[in-house]
Structure 1
């Protein structure tokens, strides 16, 4: 892990900046601060492309994409859904296989888990839930999404494959245990399993992660290489894109294991750390 004081990184080749939303450019206020918006605009004025890669739903992330004026598609659901808001083209959609979704639901409904977890299924950019729990209501309010309560989530799987499955629980130790247990049951070739915040367990198609999304932006859409990319994130679902980028920046509020793989540690989201990182590497 590098400290802000002693790390020198090449910056002249950065042509693409990729940003996470929650905990990175949006903190408790659930909005972009003026310094963050100004730094992003200044980077764009220098000809640097700016994109968003988030675990959020596409609809929930769209206002951030629009606010920064990105000319690239939006990578939502950890990159499982990549869509261009300008022409509505879906560049990529990689859902979870029905059989695996059924298996996860069976696991979540075991007696030791059922009362603890709020289960979210994301289908066609809609949020389906078993019931409206307290955790789901808090999540929905921050996301600006109206959940659809259906009782038995199996009926959703009759005709659909979910883009992402999320299990919420205020007990972070339970989420850690859940992640550990399921990583023992499924290989990375079967499911991509991660946490985006300490209370969110997330599962997607095994080909999905933010690193793959950023690679798609850089290499397929822009003809760039990884040394032309800077990425900023704050949690375990950002690890792959921080590892891919030529400059990977972790936020000061990131878990220590995430900070350990970054090349530079920015101040926290509440101190506009993303703006400070952009100024240091792209505007100085």
Structure 2
């Protein structure tokens, strides 16, 4: 772990009002938080989660992944709560199949984004994904899409012109590029074109640019789960995440923990920085604050 993370850990621990916390809900991101290169949850992390549950703490998953892709992680941690998928745009209880929330991107906005992504300057540089009814639609299967599909465990459907899919509104729109400078360019440019009241824009990893309905982010989803469904408050929530799409969740939670592999800007917003995902940092956080 970098020295700066160690320093942040100890300094933050001293600053946290542990007496003011009463953690009853633990919310976990998946990729980069509980699942690293192996795309599985290590036993050390599972053991810590089970120990927290044995103390009566409920566990939820909040992810940018598709609902169908996140389901195995939800099952692995034995969550009894609704699953917060697509940054919270899709909230569904696997036990009952009840969908509590679905906030898609408007058809007109989806068309505008597609026009931009398929402009002459960008078309050959990006793979564009439309997520509709928990299915993934793409113009064509690119190398980036193949890697994404393998990790996600889903089968993308190539349709040529993505406008043909817009009889239904997309839950999320994702642009992928191996060139992180292109993703940074998209983020900078589109944040000037769309206000937060028009579209929620984020990065979940350095090569993913994501767009969802403006009311969608993990913070809003966790607040809904905690306050509206469980009758809890922010001081009852601990959240662990590793990237820009976790920021709102970390800021909402009474205790927001960033992973040691998180970008420095995300670490700076957290109250505590855990070791990296490959060092089972989520387990360290759970053991430090819950066990």
Choose from 184, 193, 197 the match for 1:189.
Answer: 197
Q: Answer yes or no: is 1:127 the counterpart of 2:132.
A: no
SS of residue paired to 1:253: coil
Q: Which ranges of structure 1 fall in alignment gaps of 5 or more residues?
A: none
- Residues of 2 paired with 1:253 and 1:267: CA distance? 8
Of 234, 242, 258, the match for 2:242: 234
Report the more deviating stretch, 102-111 or 1-10: 1-10
After TM superposition, the structure 1 = structure 2 runs for residues 94-243 of structure 1, keeping only pairs within 5 Å, are 94-157=103-166, 159-243=167-251
| Alpha-carbon distance in 2 for matches of 1:138, 1:215 | 33
1:78 and 2:83 are equivalent in the alignment: no
What runs of 5+ residues in structure 2 fail to find an aligned partner? none
Moved segments of 4+, more than 6 Å? none
Distance 1:255 1:40 in 2: 24
Q: Say whether 1:19 aligns with 2:24.
A: no
- TM-score, structure 1 length as denominator? 0.98
Alpha-carbon shift at residue 4 of structure 1 (Å): 1.4
Root-mean-square deviation (Å): 1.0
Provide the residue aligned with 2:10 in structure 1: 5
For residues 148 and 125 of structure 1, the distance between their equivalents in structure 2, rounded to whole angstroms, comes to 12
Is residue 264 from structure 1 mapped to residue 272 from structure 2 by the alignment? yes
Per the TM alignment, residue 212 of structure 1 is displaced from its structure 2 partner at its CA by 0.5
Q: CA deviation at 1:160?
A: 0.7
Query: For the residues of structure 2 that align with 1:249 and 1:68, how far apart are their CA atoms?
Result: 18
Cα distance in 1 for residues equivalent to 2:29 and 2:121: 33
Q: CA deviation at 1:3?
A: 1.4
Note the C-alpha offset of 1:196.
Answer: 0.1
Q: Once the 2 structures are TM-superposed, how far is the Cα of residue 48 of structure 1 from its aligned partner?
A: 0.4
Query: Secondary structure of 2:239's partner?
Result: strand
User: Quick one: distance in 1 between partners of 2:27 and 2:221?
Assistant: 10
C-alpha deviation, 1:75, in angstroms: 0.3
Q: Distance in 2 between matches of 1:91 and 1:246?
A: 24
Is 2:45 the counterpart of 1:36? yes
DSSP 3-state at the match of 1:55? coil
Separation (CA, whole Å) in 2 of partners of 1:114 and 1:172: 16
Query: What's the CA shift string for 1:40-99, capped at 9, x where partnerless?
Result: 000000000100000000000000000110010000000000000000000000000000
3-state SS in 1 of match to 2:185 = helix
Cα shift at 1:166: 0.1
Q: Distance in 1 between matches of 2:8 and 2:179?
A: 31
* CA distance in 2 between partners of 1:214 and 1:114 (Å): 35
**Structure-1 separation of matches of 2:121 and 2:187:** 15
SS, match of residue 249 in structure 1: strand
